[in-house]
Each structure stands twice: as structure tokens, then as C-alpha cells.
Amino acid sequence: MTIPELADYYALKKEIIQLEEMISDLEITTIGSLSYSNISVSKSHSNSSPTENVALRLVKLKEKLNEKKESLLIEAEKAEEFLNTIDDSEIRLIIRKRFMEGKTWSKISEELIMDRTTPYYKLKNYLKRNRKNETKNS
């Protein structure tokens, strides 16, 4: 796993949150207390009820959300495997805070009690050393 892939992990997490919020808003504004959990998506599209049409769309959105959550679990496993290959616990912590939690460099430095740019440069130097070691081993 690479740093860009870890950044993609965080983006997927944000996308899931947005989908959850969108579904919640749609449920509140269009369906209210109507129960639609038993509606089948494979049902004919010739529904006469606008409410039923909206319910079908919400079911599809929820299915999409579940697919994204499954993808997130797979990516989380990959990220943890990647982090386990890093021997420096401070670097693991920096990567987790930056790319998995989406924190800013300023927030990370504050939490780790460092100068504002220190976590960034520690990670940058670690990655640079790692690339040199990989090149030598190749």
C-alpha cells in the first residue's frame, strides 16, 4: 500500500459519511415514517405511487452505501497490513492520524507535541529512506 492509496481510504470514508447523510436527509424529507425496508428493488418501474418510487431509490442508495462500506473494510485491512510493516511506531501514528483519520499536519503536531512541520518532515524523511532501501535491495 502506498500513501496515495491511504489517502484514497480516507476519501472513501468521507464518501460513506456523505452518502449516509444524504440518505438520512432524503428519508426525513420525503418518506417520513413510512417503512420501506420490505420493498424489493427488482420491482417493476411502473409504480403509480411517487412515495414508492422514492422508497425504491432510497433502497438502491442504501445498497450502494453497503457496497462502499464493504470496500472500506477491505481497504482498512490493507491499510493495517501496511502499517504493520512499518517498524517505527511514531511514523505509524503519523500515518494513521493523517491518512486514516484525515487530520491536518497542525492538528497532528499539536497532538504529538511537536513543532507544526515536524510530523510532515518525519514522514517525508522516512519515505525517502524507505525508497532508497528498496532501490538498494532491488
> Are residue 37 and residue 58 in the same domain, yes or no?
yes
Whole-model pTM over 0.75:
no
Residue 130 above 60 pLDDT? yes
> Which pLDDT score is estimated for 31?
57
Same domain, 38 and 70: yes
Domain boundary residue, one of 44, 59, 85: 85
pLDDT tens readout for residues 16-26:
999 999 888 88
Same domain, 57 and 30: yes
User: For the residues of the chain, what is the DSSP string, one character each?
Assistant: --HHHHHHHHHHHHHHHHHHHHHHHHIIIIITT---TT--TTS-S--S-HHHHHHHHHHHHHHHHHHHHHHHHHHHHHHHHHHHT---HHHHHHHIIIIIS---HHHHHHHTT--TTHHHHHHHHHHHHHHHHHHHH-
pLDDT tens digits along 79-118 = 888 889 899 999 999 999 998 899 999 999 999 999 989 9
